[in-house]
Amino acid sequence: MRKKIKAGVVQFDIKNGQIETNLNTVFGYLEKLASQDVSLAVLPEMFSCSFDNENLSRHSKKTDKVVEELSFFAEKKKIAIVGTLPEKKANKIYNTMVFIDVDGKVKGVYRKLHLFRLTGENLYYTAGDKIVTIDSSFGKIGLMTCYDLRFPELARSLFLQGAQMIVVSAQWPESRKEHWKTLVTARSVENQLFMVCSNRTGSDELLHFPGMSMIVDPMGNVLADAGCDETSVFAKIDYGLVKTARALIPCMTDRRPEIYG
């Protein structure tokens, strides 16, 4: 495990159903981050096709090929890549996060636990049933997707499983951008870990998206904020800060699970 790395986030206006166009954008930003010696890149939620829900079955057939292309790039450039795509399994569609490590291998997948009813996700997708942490080249990392941020139980479970970082892919809307900032920071502070969070920009038929991808340290300090435009940003991650934060305020030691679970 490397104690110091550079982690990056990518944000862009995902074109509904246009996989090749979106991948061209993704690889452009990944090339840029790799040239800056970034070791981990987080992409927005449903980065390949967005929520083109009526055509998910067709789009999901291309997901294996998309992952294959990303895996080849990851191994070649020695950069881990994370993001969510549509996955079809046993005639069910999942919003699935894939973590590809620097060796090009898929180290873990996470199916979104909390489906956002306000936009009808529950009508098209099946909710996952597992909390996922992975043992990556950069230590133990927890996986979360968008609406998951509103459920502190999930982040705390990842903390209890030893996560030193949580990565988040999102399509979080402009109308609730203050919630985004607050929740990302809160999850970092209460669990004393790094949050590396990618959110999209642009608009779809109903919503506008503010970007505001963020990297936050275990004390809640914002190390990188991508603003509102299409871009990529990165920050230096020093895992020593996790140990320092947890020693300074020993939340793990002082928990009372016998009282509240």
Q: What is the mean pLDDT of residues 201-221?
A: 96
pLDDT tens for each residue of 27-80:
999 999 999 999 999 999 999 999 999 999 999 999 999 999 999 999 999 999
| Residue 108 neighbours by CB distance under 10 Å | 17
In whole angstroms, what is the distance from residue 43 CA to residue 30 CA?
Answer: 9
pLDDT tens readout for residues 153-165? 999 999 999 999 9
- In the block, which residue shows the tokens 């080249």? 137
Strands 165-170 and 194-199: parallel
Do 158 and 191 contact (CB within 8 A), yes or no? yes
Run of H or E residues at 251: helix 251-254
pLDDT bin (cut points 50, 70, 90) of residue 231 is: very high
Please report, for the chain, the start and end positions of each structural domain, with discontinuous segments joined by +: 4-259
Tell me the CATH architecture of domain 4-259.
4-Layer Sandwich (3.60)
Give me the pLDDT at residue 205, please: 83
3-state secondary structure at position 92 = strand
Mean pLDDT, the chain, integer: 97
Per-residue pLDDT of 129-150, as tens digits, reads 999 999 999 999 999 999 999 9
pLDDT of the residue at 261: 73
Residues with Cβ within 8 Å of residue 249, at least 6 apart in sequence: 192
Give φ, ψ of 16 to 5 degrees.
-60, 115
**So what's the pLDDT on residue 3?**
84
Predicted TM-score (pTM) of this structure: 0.97
pLDDT the model gives residue 141: 98
User: Is the pLDDT confidence value at 206 over 90?
Assistant: no
Per-residue pLDDT, 145: 98
Instruction: Check residue 113 and give its pLDDT.
Output: 98
Question: How far apart (Å, rounded) are the C-alpha atoms in residues 185 and 181?
Answer: 6
Label the pairing between strands 222-225 and 214-216: antiparallel
Query: Looking at the annotation, which residues are catalytic?
Result: 45, 112, 146
